């Protein structure tokens, strides 16, 4: 073999050729060579400088399309050959297979475009609040916490944040709700980011406790409720301690003020909106849930914590907060209705029973399509605005009050029957005490002693009767 000989082309080889069995193609055609002959040929090629694939040219390698269709590989492929010299090399084909999926690329482009739109709305002068609200509501929300730190205060129309002086720790500990707040904060471990350092987590817990107490100290008329800490921790994690306090303080007198009243009357009023919405959106589902008697308590945590207590995925929580800060106060109830509608198959598959339906409805999986749910909630709000449901809500509350009144009356009647059965006994004891002077403080003790003596007397009589001593007792009498 000399320099004028065609370059060696190995067939059906994926990595390195097996020198024991190689099909060699040359001028004389295909034939089998032994191991020794192949080694000798390779030595001759190396000594005389066999031309590489790139030097020989692409046309000689690609003389037959069947070679490439059969995925045959060239042994002497020069590493210095450029992509222009070998546009159809196997390496090129492999690289094309490793390209990122199109969906990921589209998602990245959408995300970047959304961030640019948010930045544009934030930098507008004057602030384009409506555009910012629409970006917070639409798919993806405010995308990331960096954008939320800039957008959330503006959505709440809190342009300037002044950090108020913090109270002394001793003052915080003396607050009437301090112990309850500490207990609730200690139970909120799942709300902290996974893998967080223990020392840093303890620092955040202390900051959260002080943040809540500061809000309650500034507004003494507000009443702390279990779940308020779930809202506060979300703002603490996103906004930090100082700005987080300012935002939670403002929320406590706006969005959350109805839940911090002395009674739950207004909270119940808000919860009741669920049923008129369901009645109009899906009458069959509404009747099934209404007949089960499950009520509205299953969605109480949804409303008063903005789903922060129910959901485990931090991304879902902050996405919902984007939505809530840009929409009217009652929007949580429209999202609650959208979730129930989304889970209608699970609801209807269960028994029409209060306990069963409460178990099904109180659980909100993090795997739900929340973007679809938010779209549906917005449609429900546009189709059935709160002002069109007021009459139905008041009627529902009225019926619920009447039902509760009847239930209380039934319980009172049951109690009166029990008391009536005790009247003869009470009369007897009253007669006894009229003849036996006993101090009122000792009456209860006297009754116990009398009952014990009577029990002993009866037991002794039964024992003597069955032991054959009944005759002796009669003779003594």
**Tens place of pLDDT for every residue, the chain, 477 residues?**
444 444 433 334 334 444 344 333 444 444 444 445 545 554 555 444 444 434 444 444 344 434 444 333 333 333 333 343 444 444 444 445 455 455 567 888 999 999 999 999 999 999 999 999 999 999 999 999 999 999 999 999 887 666 678 889 899 999 999 999 999 999 888 888 778 888 999 999 999 999 999 999 999 999 999 999 999 999 999 999 999 999 999 999 999 999 999 999 999 999 999 999 999 999 999 999 999 999 999 999 999 999 999 999 999 999 999 999 999 999 999 999 999 999 999 999 999 999 999 999 999 999 999 999 999 999 999 999 999 999 999 999 998 888 888 888 888 888 887 777 766 666 666 666 566 555 555 556 666 677 777 787 788 778 777 776 544 544 454
Final residue belonging to a domain, choices 124, 155, 186 = 155
Residue 118 makes CB contacts below 8 A (sequence gap 6+) with 132, 135, 142, 143, 147, 151
Does one domain contain both 340 and 460? no
> In the prediction, which pLDDT does 163 show?
67
Core vs surface per residue 429-459: b (16+ CB within 10 A) or e: eeeeeeeeeeeeeeeeeeeeeeeeeeeeeee
Task: Classify residue 268: in a domain, yes or no.
Answer: yes
> In the prediction, which pLDDT does 60 show?
41
- The residue segments making up the domain with residue 393 are 263-403
Does one domain contain both 276 and 375? yes
> In the prediction, which pLDDT does 40 show?
54
CA separation for the pair 448, 458 (Å, rounded)? 15
Does one domain contain both 320 and 449? no
Q: Residue 30: enclosing H or E segment and its boundaries?
A: strand 29-32
> In the prediction, which pLDDT does 435 show?
61
Task: Classify residue 269: in a domain, yes or no.
Answer: yes
Final residue belonging to a domain, choices 125, 155, 185 = 155
Task: Classify residue 412: in a domain, yes or no.
Answer: no
Does one domain contain both 241 and 274? no
Does one domain contain both 297 and 397? yes
Does one domain contain both 311 and 435? no
Does one domain contain both 370 and 448? no
Does one domain contain both 270 and 230? no
Task: Classify residue 93: in a domain, yes or no.
Answer: no
Two structure tokens written together for 327: 């929409």
Does one domain contain both 308 and 339? yes
CA 198: distance to chain centroid? 23
Does one domain contain both 380 and 450? no
- How many distinct structural domains can be found in the chain? 5
Does one domain contain both 3 and 128? no
Final residue belonging to a domain, choices 197, 229, 256 = 256
Does one domain contain both 268 and 252? no
> In the prediction, which pLDDT does 64 show?
41
β strands within 395-443, DSSP E: none
Task: Classify residue 410: in a domain, yes or no.
Answer: no
């Amino acid at each position: 073999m000399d320099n004028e000989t065609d370059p060696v082309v190995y067939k059906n080889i994926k990595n390195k050729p097996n020198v024991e069995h190689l099909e060699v193609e040359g001028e004389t055609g295909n034939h089998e060579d032994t191991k020794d002959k192949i080694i000798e040929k390779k030595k001759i090629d190396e000594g005389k400088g066999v031309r590489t694939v790139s030097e020989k040219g692409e046309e000689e390698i690609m003389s037959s399309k069947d070679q490439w269709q059969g995925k045959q590989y060239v042994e002497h492929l020069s590493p210095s050959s450029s992509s222009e010299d070998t546009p159809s090399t196997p390496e090129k084909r492999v690289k094309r297979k490793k390209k990122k999926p199109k969906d990921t690329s589209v998602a990245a482009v959408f995300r970047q475009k959304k961030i640019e739109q948010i930045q544009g709305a934030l930098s507008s002068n004057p602030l384009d609040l409506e555009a910012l609200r629409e970006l917070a509501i639409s798919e993806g929300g405010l995308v990331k916490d960096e954008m939320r730190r800039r957008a959330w205060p503006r959505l709440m129309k809190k342009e300037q944040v002044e950090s108020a002086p913090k109270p002394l720790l001793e003052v915080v500990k003396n607050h009437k709700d301090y112990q309850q707040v500490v207990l609730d904060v200690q139970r909120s471990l799942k709300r902290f980011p996974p893998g967080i350092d223990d020392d840093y987590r303890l620092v955040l817990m202390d900051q959260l406790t002080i943040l809540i107490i500061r809000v309650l100290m500034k507004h003494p008329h507000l009443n702390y409720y279990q779940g308020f800490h779930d809202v506060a921790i979300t703002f603490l994690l996103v906004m930090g301690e100082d700005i987080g306090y300012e935002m939670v303080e403002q929320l406590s007198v706006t969005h959350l003020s109805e839940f911090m009243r002395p009674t739950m009357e207004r909270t119940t009023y808000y919860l009741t909106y669920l049923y008129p919405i369901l009645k109009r959106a899906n009458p069959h589902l509404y009747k099934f849930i209404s007949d089960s008697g499950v009520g509205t308590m299953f969605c109480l945590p949804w409303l008063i914590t903005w789903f922060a207590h129910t959901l485990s995925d931090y991304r879902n929580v902050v996405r919902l907060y984007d939505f809530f800060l840009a929409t009217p106060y009652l929007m949580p109830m429209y999202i609650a209705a959208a979730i129930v509608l989304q889970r209608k198959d699970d609801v209807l598959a269960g028994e029409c029973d209060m306990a069963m339906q409460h178990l099904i409805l109180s659980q909100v999986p993090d795997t739900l399509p929340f973007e679809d749910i938010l779209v549906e909630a917005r449609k429900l709000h546009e189709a059935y605005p709160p002002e069109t449901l007021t009459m139905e809500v008041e009627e529902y509350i009225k019926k619920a009050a009447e039902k509760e009144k009847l239930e209380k009356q039934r319980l009172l009647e049951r109690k009166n029957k029990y008391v009536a059965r005790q009247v003869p006994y009470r009369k007897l004891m009253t007669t006894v005490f009229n003849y036996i002077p006993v101090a009122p403080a000792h009456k209860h003790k006297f009754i116990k002693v009398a009952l014990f003596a009577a029990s002993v007397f009866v037991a002794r009589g039964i024992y003597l009767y069955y032991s054959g001593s009944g005759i002796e007792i009669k003779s003594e009498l």
